[in-house]
Amino acid sequence: MSARFSIIELPKTRWREARALRLHALQTDPSAFASSYADELAFADEVWLARADSAERHAGNMTLFAELDGELVGMAGANWSQREKIRHVAHGYGVYVLPAHRGKGIGGVLMQSLLDELARLPQIKKISLQVNSESAAAVALYEKLGFATVGIARGELFVGGRYYDLLYMERKS
């Protein structure tokens, strides 16, 4: 079943919703992210404000959100350095859809929209990301979008008393 959702950049005024969604992600899927709930609960409001600000794109950060019936239900972000030698690489992060809204195509459209936006930035030549090797849905999503696994870091993530491997995936922009 396809849901009627929109992909948006968030007005700064809605930063509290972005914070709530991100904290929800860190609680529901702790093994999917390098940050922990406790790490980000401690962030000052200014950090969330800056993250929600679409003007941040000029500083090397972009976050897209999926909105359904006025509620944020998913997000996907990318950042990139301004440094001359590595400014051609964007790093995907924070890809998340609320559990109740998964399997409706939202994650796929979010990621494709992020890739489309990155393709409009001429300096970006490739997109890299890291994903828990056991996050089957995310790995399948990235493969479907043309990402290939180029490496694996063993035991890179320690969550809930056990270690997880991280896949390094990338694709051309």
Ligand X SMILES: CC(C)(COP(=O)(O)OP(=O)(O)OC[C@H]1O[C@@H](n2cnc3c(N)ncnc32)[C@H](O)[C@@H]1OP(=O)(O)O)[C@@H](O)C(=O)NCCC(=O)NCCS
What does the binding site for ligand X look like in residue numbers (CB under 6 A)? 29, 32, 95-97, 102-108, 131, 135-138, 140-141, 144
**Least distance from ligand X to the Cβ atom of residue 87, Å:** 22
What's the min distance (Å) between Cβ of 10 and ligand X?
Answer: 18
Please say which residue, 32 or 72, places its beta carbon nearer to ligand X: 32
Least distance in Å: CB of 39 to ligand X? 16
Q: Which residue is nearest to ligand X (CB)?
A: 107
Q: How far apart are CA 94 and CA 109, in angstroms?
A: 15
CB closer to ligand X, 45 vs 134: 134
Task: Name the minimum Å distance from CB 106 to ligand X.
Answer: 4
**Quick check: helix, strand or coil at residue 134?**
coil
SS3 state of residue 25? helix
Measured between alpha carbons, how far is 65 from 12 in angstroms, rounded to an integer? 13
The two three-digit tokens of residue 64, written as one number: 């897209």
Instruction: Pick between residue 24 and residue 57 the one whose CB is nearest to ligand X.
Output: 24
Give the distance, in angstroms, between the CA of residue 21 and the centroid of all CA atoms in the same chain.
12
- Residues whose CB falls within 8 Å of the CB of residue 71, separated by 6 or more in sequence, listed in order: none
Residue 12 or 37: the one with the smaller Cβ distance to ligand X is 37
